[in-house]
Amino acid sequence: MNSSDGAAVVVGVDGSEPALHAVRLAAAEAARRQRPLRVVHGFIWPLLHVPLTAPAGAPPGGGLRDQAKQIVTAAVAEAETTAPDVRVSGEIIDGEAAAVLLGETTTAAMIVLGDRGLGGFSALVVGSVAIQVASYADCPVLVARGAPRSVGPVVVGVDGSELSTLALDFAADAADARRTDLLALHAYRHPTSSGPGDMQPLVYDEGLLHSEQEQVLAESVAGLTERYPGLRVTRRAVRARPGRALTDASRTAQLVVVGGQGRGEFTGLLLGSVSQSVLHHADCPVAVVRAPR
């Protein structure tokens, strides 16, 4: 990712603890990539036509607009503490959170947000804002999932598709910036597998199938080490459900990177089933990379 274009890392905040987790993650990412950080709060109340200032006799700073300012000020302070060398700015933008963040994606280097916010339903593992932004964004989206780690590889899901090539490039850049290894993971199922039990045909050549899938993986990562001479790339092809394999790998990873939609998924899906599975179950931050529109 070219840091000379001036595009900022943008983080969405709402005053929740997951949002502060996202702020710390975004500040560290901006520092690694030598980019400015922009803190954004979607201020929905003007759309609902409710009073934005404190009523007469209320304590100073009690209005909704004042509360929004406090949220942004606290987030900016958290970012400056996390990454003192990063230039941080904050802004309140009238509008619903997902719409505001999607508006930022046309010029941002990356959008960072928490997995759930103050408005999320307790039964949701990943909130609707994160899903909406990851589904429609024009730039990579980083969701603050699981435990932050400074050790472990960057893991990327590879399936040989054009979109997984974009995810692979993003992951290599992320691993290089973190000075860690890149694990390219290709999870496959037997071509005739179907049904919940993954019933297999009576006769098939498992060794030949595995060799073919390893070749797909090798071709996908070819040339990567030439572009990143100091990057150590490990290839792993496994027969498993891709979402499960990536989730398992996330337990020791710094970051998992997935394409917004993979090979074999329905083209009508805005966010593929593998991406959604990883977003809901990963034990580390997840980056979703979509093809530019």
Tens digit of pLDDT for each residue in 217-237? 998 898 888 899 999 999 999
CA pair distance 60, 39, nearest whole angstrom: 24
| Residue 76 near residue 90, CB atoms below 8 Å | yes
Q: What is the pLDDT along the chain (293 residues), one digit of tens a residue?
A: 556 578 999 999 999 999 999 999 999 999 999 999 999 999 885 555 555 565 555 565 556 888 899 999 999 999 999 999 999 999 999 999 999 999 999 999 999 999 876 544 333 346 788 889 998 999 999 999 998 899 999 999 998 888 888 999 999 999 999 999 999 999 987 665 544 555 555 456 677 888 888 998 998 898 888 899 999 999 999 999 999 999 999 999 999 999 976 454 434 445 678 888 999 999 999 999 987 66
Q: Is 133 helix (H, G, I), strand (E, B) or coil?
A: helix
CA 92 from centre of chain: 23
Whether the Cβ atoms of residue 243 and residue 273 lie closer than 8 Å to each other:
yes
Closest to 23 measured CA to CA, from 107, 110, 113, 91: 113
Q: Which pLDDT does position 210 carry in this prediction?
A: 84
Return d(Cα 78, Cα 67) in angstroms, integer: 17
> Whole-angstrom Cα distance, residue 55 to residue 162?
56
* Cβ contact 247:283 at 8 Å: yes
Let me know how long the chain is: 293
Q: Are 69 and 92 in contact (CB under 8 A)?
A: yes
Token pair for 8: 């900022």
Give backbone dihedrals phi and psi of 166, rounded to 5 degrees, phi first.
Answer: -65, -40
Q: Which pair of structure tokens corresponds to residue 30? A: 């901006």
The pair of three-digit structure tokens given for residue 140, joined into one six-digit string? 């990579």
Distance CA 257, CA 250 (A): 10
How far, CA to CA in Å, does 157 sit from each of 30, 165, 206, 250? Answer: 24, 10, 21, 11
Q: Which secondary-structure segment (H or E) carries 114?
A: strand 110-114
How far, in Å, CA of 255 to CA of 282, rounded?
Answer: 9
